[in-house]
Amino acid sequence: MSEYVTQETFDKMKETLQKMKAIDRPAASKAIAEAREKGDLKENAEYDSAKEAQGLLEARIKQLEGAIATAKIVDTTSIDTSRVSILTKVTITNVATKKTVTYQIVGEKEADLKMGKISSSSPIGKGLIGKQIGEIAEVQAPNGILKFKVEEIAI
């Protein structure tokens, strides 16, 4: 499954992968070698722990390589602000509470509610995608349907 990301996020992903391969992988191998030197491997908890850490690291590397290979970089200069789409900032008002908030619609890897970034695959994100200013987005929530009015769309 491909993920929409900004160029900045794509660059951070590549940087993280490079660090994992160049620094973390050799460190994991060294930890295994040091634990191996400490004696019988059957009763060596340090060796088992180092092997498990290496396995987790390799899994994270593989997952990140897959994410980088399938990432779709979105050019912010070509975004149409007539409708809510990935990377747009949308100001919405909860019809019931009259509370207004602004979110940026992003891919799952970039989602961070504290930063005002919600995933395009989240219930609110899905409900807002494709809406225009003035339209009402109905979002299914555990406590019923929430209605949000789209007030503004920007980059």
pLDDT confidence tier of residue 2, bands split at 50, 70 and 90:
low
> What would the CATH number be for the domain defined by 77-154?
3.10.50.30
pLDDT confidence tier of residue 41, bands split at 50, 70 and 90:
low
The pTM for the full model equals 0.65
Q: What is the mean pLDDT of residues 36-60?
A: 84
User: What is the architecture, at CATH level 2, of domain 4-73?
Assistant: Orthogonal Bundle (1.10)
pLDDT exceeds 90 at position 60? yes
Please report the pLDDT score of residue 50 as a whole number.
87
Please report the pLDDT score of residue 77 as a whole number.
74
Q: What is the mean pLDDT of residues 45-62?
A: 90
Reported as a single tens digit per residue, the pLDDT across 71-110 is 888 777 777 888 998 889 999 999 999 999 999 998 887 8
Indicate the domain borders of the chain: 4-73, 77-154
Rounded Cα distance between 97 and 19, Å, is: 46
